[in-house]
Amino acid sequence: MSCMGMAALITMVGRFDGELLLDGLKSHFATMAGSLLDKVSLK
């Protein structure tokens, strides 16, 4: 992610509920990890 993207993300944290954003990030990373595991297990 670019520096601008990180800055925008930090700004969003200030505007929205931090807990909600953390939950969203956690589920996003869980989805990414799941798809990565799927790719690995297919090989």
Q: What is the pLDDT of residues 2-26, one digit of tens each?
A: 677 777 776 766 666 667 777 888 8
Range of the domain at 29: 3-42
pLDDT, position 17: 66
Q: At what angle do helices 3-15 and 18-42 cross, to 10 degrees?
A: 130
Q: How many CB atoms lie within 10 A of CB 39?
A: 9
Domains in the chain: how many in total? 1
pTM of the model: 0.43
CA-to-CA dists, residue 43 to 8, 34, 36, 38, angstroms: 37, 15, 11, 9
